[in-house]
Structure 1
Amino acid sequence: MNPNLMMMLANLEAEEAMFIQNLIKDYSEDQQKTFVMMYQNKRRDSTLILVTTVIGFFGFAGIQRFLTDQIGMGILYFFTGGLCFIGTIVDLVNYKSLAFEYNQKAAYETLQLMKTWNP
């Protein structure tokens, strides 16, 4: 994979970078560029998840769940104060895995979208 493409994706964790490289290694350079351009708009940075989880302690709990498309959990966190702060504390510890799981789904969705455009 072209190293310049990985530079387009800012703040990649090592695990996510390896995942992306393995996912698109068999694609042409043009297809890889298309993937990176589409994926960078969908992915969530783990720092954003961390910041929104911390906000849950001081106001609106569950923002991180809304950002990761877990709407039901976001509503539950909102009405229960982050499950009495226990869920928010767990999310503080696991913020990187929340972001990585969401980004994996976003990468697979991006590949599916590319396949529908270029069958």
Structure 2
Amino acid sequence: MSNRNILMSIHGITPDELMYLQHATASLNEEQLKNFVFLYGGKRKNAQDILLFTLIGFLGFAGIQRFVLGQVAMGVIYFLTLGFCWIGTIVDLINHKSMTDEYNQRMAREAAMMVKGGF
């Protein structure tokens, strides 16, 4: 199975994400790549899920998207301030895809380092 086919087995992968992952995993052998897909697939987030969590912020539970993306301090601030009086929630609504992409790229780097290091 080629590098591209193994990466395409990740549920919900986008074309931009696939290109990033192909570059990030170019130096991995087939066994390492399988381990990478297993690790990364369990850590990555879907932009639609982040959008849904952001929309829930308008019901008074602001900041869930920040908690899900590992930004605990910002999640607490959003929760206590109703998402900066919903302004931060609106900004996150607009930027949900880029926030998810940044998180997924960070998780890809972590997974690649773990696989290369044999952790």
Q: How high is the TM-score relative to the length of structure 1?
A: 0.92
Match of 1:103 in 2: 104
SS of equivalent residue, structure 1 residue 9: coil
- Which blocks of at least 5 consecutive residues in structure 2 are unaligned? none
Match of 2:28 in 1: 27
Residues 63 and 78, structure 2, Cα contact 8 Å, conserved in 1:
yes
SS of equivalent residue, structure 2 residue 89: helix
- Which blocks of at least 5 consecutive residues in structure 1 are unaligned? none
Deviation of the 1:115 alpha carbon: 2.7
Q: Percent identity?
A: 45
Q: Which runs of 4+ in 1 moved over 3 A?
A: none
Match of 1:70 in 2: 71
Q: How high is the TM-score relative to the length of structure 2?
A: 0.92
CA-based RMSD of the aligned residues comes to 1.3
Q: Are 1:50 and 2:51 an aligned pair?
A: yes
Deviation of the 1:10 alpha carbon: 1.4
- The aligned amino acid for 2:81 is T
Match of 2:17 in 1: 16
SS of equivalent residue, structure 2 residue 116: helix
Deviation of the 1:7 alpha carbon: 2.9
Q: Distance in 2 between matches of 1:115 and 1:22?
A: 15
Deviation of the 1:113 alpha carbon: 1.4
Q: Distance in 1 between matches of 2:9 and 2:91?
A: 31
Q: Distance in 2 between matches of 1:90 and 1:98?
A: 11
Aligned length: 118
